[in-house]
Amino acid sequence: MTTTLSRLCAGLCACILVSACANAPLPQSKIYVLDDLPDRVSNDATALIAINKIELPDYLNQRKLVLRQLDQQILIANYHIWGDDLPDSIRRVLAHELSNNGQEYRVVNSCSACGELTIRVDHFYPTDSGEAVLAGSYTYSQDEAQIYKQFSFKRILREDGYDEAVYQMRQLLLELSNNIAVSIAEN
Amino acid sequence: MNDDIQGTKPEIKPKSKLSKIWLLPIVALIIGLGMVYNNWKNQGVQIEVSFDNAEGIIAEKTLVKYLDVDIGIVNEVGFGEGRQSIVIGIEIEKEMRDLLTSDSKFWVVKPRIGADGISGLGTVLSGAYITISPGNSETLSTQFPGLNQAPVTSPTADGLFISLTSKGGKPPKVGSPVIYRGFEVGKVEATQFDPRTRTAGFGVFINAPYDTLVTTNTFFWNAGGISVTATAEGIKVDVTTLETLISGGIQFDVPEELSLGEVVAQSHSFTLYDSWDSVQNRREYDYFEYAILVEDSVSGLSKGAPVEYRGIRIGTVESPHLAFDEPVEGEPPQGQDPRIPVIVRIEPGRVYVGKNVDMAAFDAIIKDGITEGMVARIQNANLITGSLKVSLDFVGEPVANVETYGPYPVIPSRRAGLSILTEQLEAVLAKVNQLPLDEILQNADQAITDASGAFDSAQSAFIGIEKSMQELETTLSGFQPDSQIYDSLDETMTEMQNTLRSLQPLINDLSNQPNSLIFGANQPTDVEPTAGGN
């Protein structure tokens, strides 16, 4: 009797546990990167610029894409993920674009006695209204001179989905790099 | 023509007793007599001048000049009596007779090189000649002694002749200049040495109007050579002129502390001092003598050393010590009294300069000072040369009476500071000699050895500490912001932050639905953005 009862209890627990596996199939996760295919970058420029820091708010400084709704809510996606840390991705994209812009300087991770660029991104996400937004500020310092500028760029999503959003977010970074290049040239 | 000759009778004239041919010799005779008369009338004065030798003198050729004008000629050169001198016969023009006074001087002018330069160069071509310096005498003479060289001073020169006496020093030569404050005002005319008194005498002529500078308070000193004086203010080199440097000279002046005095008469005598310093220090004053019985050594105390009262010179050491063979009357012979008698002169004139001094009163002052405790000490006058001096001061005990040493009153003596210092030093050295230096040195050596060992140990410890510090520095440098370890730590921390950030949603889900870990979270599909314009 006792043996049968214990077996029955074990079987019941097994069923409960197995039932945990009986779920509906999950959606497939998508992983995104902001980097383009690598281009060949000239190394002839002698002027160096270092990107010191890319600052992001906490809700952006994570691997999942976010969507801003009209009611100021931030929806964090579960199945749409950044392939790399977003600050590193933004750093690489800006370095690539700035180095290719006129090729009067090269962007490096660190250097001494050179121009230093610090960027703070406050908004970098698609919105529920069909836009991709990039806003924040950057500081460029060289010798005793310092430039501080705020930026805010928007692009219209042509299609639904995070695919288009990521594409437009990439274009927003290109606009930011052009803005920074102009500021550096004017200095 | 034949008729003229036959009709004329010859006229017979008587023959003259004197032939005309005699006119010629008569005229010649008259002329000759006239010449003889003229010669006799114009004949000069014949004189004789004696010289030591006839160098440069030729009969019928050597001229006699006065002020470079020919006034005579040498007509004979011969020996004098005993052939010890040369007698020269000279014919002087009659008109120049008045130059032949008994004190006129003759000398031969020929090329000479002396301290005052080269003279007589013109005689190199023209030959030597004799010149005259007329005197002032009213009597004429025909015999004169010749001088070997030109006189220093012309006999007719206006000025003052004085004599100087010197006991030593470099003697000036005949012709040496006499200088007053840089100006040559006279010359030395004559020099001589007296073996009896062992003194040198000099005849000096001071030209007018400078002769008024020589007064009773004038002092003369030897100005020849170079004077080098070393004092506390430095080294002073004094050279009067180049001429005095070479041939010597004499200077004179009146010391500042004395009045000018009265102008002296001809042939006044002065003392020639060795230098200006000796004028100051060795001037002769009226004095009275004292004896000092010295217990210290008198080596370095010389005659002429100063006697001072608190730095003021008041006398001179006459005899630094009495000879042992000169016993003083009334005193025990030398050898029984270990003290050395030093005789000093107290010269009040050094204190009361230029004033009349009451010698007796000053003597009484000295004796009163002795009774009140004035003593004499032999002190160093010059540490370099080691010369000594006598110093008087009131550092002794009062005494009742003034002692005497023979005829000399005695100034009590006190040992000088240097001798006392020497005695004390000797006592100290004796004590030092008694110290167990060997033992002390051994202990010191051992202490040094121990200290050296301790120092070596400390040095080793320091080396170890330094090495440890270097290793620590190396280790810490590994943790510098630019070091690999720091970068690794930074990267690790970043990864941890990212991991925690990634776990945040899971933690939130677990906190909301703990069983989602087993049964899975109920995650809806993502809300995706829509295209713009929708």
> Average pLDDT of A54-68?
91
> Average pLDDT of B281-286?
72
Q: Give the pLDDT band of residue B510 (cuts 50, 70, 90).
A: confident
What letter represents residue B58's amino acid? I
CA–CA gap between residue B211 and residue B204 (Å, rounded): 11
Q: What is the pLDDT of residue B183?
A: 86
Residue of A nearest to B504 (CA): A62
**Interface contacts A/B by beta carbons within 8 Å:** 72
B198 or B315: which leads in pLDDT: B315
Q: Residue B430 above 70 pLDDT? A: yes
Condensed to tens digits (0 to 9), the pLDDT of residues B199-218 reads 888 888 888 888 888 888 88
Residue of A nearest to B518 (CA): A20
Q: Residue B241 above 80 pLDDT? A: no
* B244 CB-contact burial (10 Å; exposed 0-12 / middle 13-18 / buried 19+): buried
Q: How far is CA A101 from CA A106, A175, B15, B269, B398, in A?
A: 10, 11, 173, 120, 116
The Cα of A61 is separated from the nearest Cα of chain B by a number of Å equal to 8
Q: What is the pLDDT of residue A173?
A: 95
| A159 contacts on B by Cβ (under 8 Å) | 531
Residue of B nearest to A111 (CA): B482
> Average pLDDT of A56-80?
90
DSSP string, B50-115: EES--TT--TTT-EEEETTEEEEEEEEEEE-GGGSSEEEEEEE-GGGGGG-BTT-EEEEE--EEET
Q: Judge: B527–A161 Cβ closer than 8 Å, yes or no.
A: no
| B530 contacts on A by Cβ (under 8 Å) | 128, 130, 157, 160
Condensed to tens digits (0 to 9), the pLDDT of residues A18-59 reads 655 555 566 788 999 998 766 655 566 677 888 888 999 989
pTM, 2 dp: 0.42
Touching check for B481 and chain A: CB below 8 Å? no
Q: Judge: A80–B528 Cβ closer than 8 Å, yes or no.
A: yes
Touching check for B505 and chain A: CB below 8 Å? yes
Could you tell me how many residues make up chain A? 187
Touching check for B32 and chain A: CB below 8 Å? no
Q: What is the pLDDT of residue B169?
A: 67
* B423 CB-contact burial (10 Å; exposed 0-12 / middle 13-18 / buried 19+): exposed
The Cα of B471 is separated from the nearest Cα of chain A by a number of Å equal to 28
Nearest to A61 among B501, B505, B520 (CB): B501
Q: Are B204 and B250 in contact (CB under 8 A)?
A: yes
Q: Judge: B528–A162 Cβ closer than 8 Å, yes or no.
A: yes
Condensed to tens digits (0 to 9), the pLDDT of residues B146-163 reads 887 777 776 667 788 888
Q: What is the pLDDT of residue A82?
A: 92
Nearest to A130 among B501, B519, B533 (CB): B533
Q: What is the pLDDT of residue B1?
A: 46
Nearest to B526 among A23, A77, A127 (CB): A77
> Average pLDDT of A79-83?
91
Touching check for A162 and chain B: CB below 8 Å? yes
Strand ranges, E, within B381-472: 388-394, 404-405, 408-411
Q: Judge: B529–A23 Cβ closer than 8 Å, yes or no.
A: no
Q: How far is CA B217 from CA B104, B167, B257, B355, in A?
A: 35, 20, 10, 12
| B525 contacts on A by Cβ (under 8 Å) | 27, 78-79
Q: In the beta sheet, which residues pair with residue A121?
A: A136
Touching check for A63 and chain B: CB below 8 Å? yes
A160 or B510: which leads in pLDDT: A160
Nearest to B501 among A20, A62, A159 (CB): A62
| A129 contacts on B by Cβ (under 8 Å) | 532
CA–CA gap between residue B99 and residue B67 (Å, rounded): 12
Touching check for B518 and chain A: CB below 8 Å? yes
The Cα of A20 is separated from the nearest Cα of chain B by a number of Å equal to 5
Q: Residue B407 above 70 pLDDT? A: yes
The Cα of A49 is separated from the nearest Cα of chain B by a number of Å equal to 19
State how beta strands A131-142 and A145-156 pair.
antiparallel
Sign of the C-alpha dihedral computed for residues B347, B353, B358 and B363 taken in this order: negative
In which residue are the tokens 């006119």 written? B23
Interface test with B, best of A29, A85, A111, A155 (most B CBs within 10 A): A85
Touching check for A77 and chain B: CB below 8 Å? yes
Q: Judge: A156–B533 Cβ closer than 8 Å, yes or no.
A: yes
Nearest to B534 among A76, A130, A161 (CB): A130
Three-class SS of B180-217: ECCEEEEEEEEEEEECCCCEEEEEEEEECCHHHHCECC
Touching check for B11 and chain A: CB below 8 Å? no
ipTM of the complex: 0.74
Q: Judge: A20–B498 Cβ closer than 8 Å, yes or no.
A: no
Touching check for A148 and chain B: CB below 8 Å? no
CA–CA gap between residue B129 and residue B64 (Å, rounded): 6
Interface list for A 93-122 with B (CB within 8 A): none
| B532 contacts on A by Cβ (under 8 Å) | 129-131, 156-158
CA–CA gap between residue B68 and residue B58 (Å, rounded): 18
Condensed to tens digits (0 to 9), the pLDDT of residues A134-187 reads 999 999 988 888 889 999 999 999 999 999 999 999 999 999 999 998 888 886
Least confident span in A55-69, B88-102, B210-224: B210-224
Q: Judge: B528–A160 Cβ closer than 8 Å, yes or no.
A: yes
Query: Is the bond preceding residue B209 a cis peptide, omega within 30 degrees?
Result: yes
The rounded mean pLDDT for chain B is: 81
Q: Judge: B532–A129 Cβ closer than 8 Å, yes or no.
A: yes
Touching check for B439 and chain A: CB below 8 Å? no
Q: Judge: A129–B527 Cβ closer than 8 Å, yes or no.
A: no
Condensed to tens digits (0 to 9), the pLDDT of residues B432-464 reads 888 888 888 888 899 999 888 888 888 888 898
CA–CA gap between residue B115 and residue B175 (Å, rounded): 9
Q: Judge: B527–A27 Cβ closer than 8 Å, yes or no.
A: no
Touching check for A161 and chain B: CB below 8 Å? yes
Interface test with B, best of A32, A56, A67 (most B CBs within 10 A): A67
Q: Residue B103: what are its φ and ψ, rounded to 5°?
A: -105, 20
> Average pLDDT of A66-79?
90
Least confident span in A16-25, A116-125, B54-63, B237-246: A16-25
Touching check for A1 and chain B: CB below 8 Å? no
Nearest to B532 among A58, A61, A130 (CB): A130
Q: In the beta sheet, which residues pair with residue A148?
A: A139
DSSP string, A91-114: HHHHHHHHHHSTTSEEEES--SSS
Chain-centroid distance, C-alpha B413: 36
> Average pLDDT of B259-274?
82
Q: Residue B534 above 60 pLDDT? A: no
Where helices occur in A36-105 by DSSP H, the ranges are: 86-100
Touching check for A157 and chain B: CB below 8 Å? yes
Q: Residue B481 above 80 pLDDT? A: no
> Average pLDDT of B400-422?
80
Condensed to tens digits (0 to 9), the pLDDT of residues B321-332 reads 765 545 555 565
Nearest to B529 among A20, A85, A128 (CB): A128
Please give the structure tokens belonging to residue B516. Answer: 């989602």
| A157 contacts on B by Cβ (under 8 Å) | 529-532
Q: What is the pLDDT of residue A18?
A: 61
> Average pLDDT of B32-38?
92
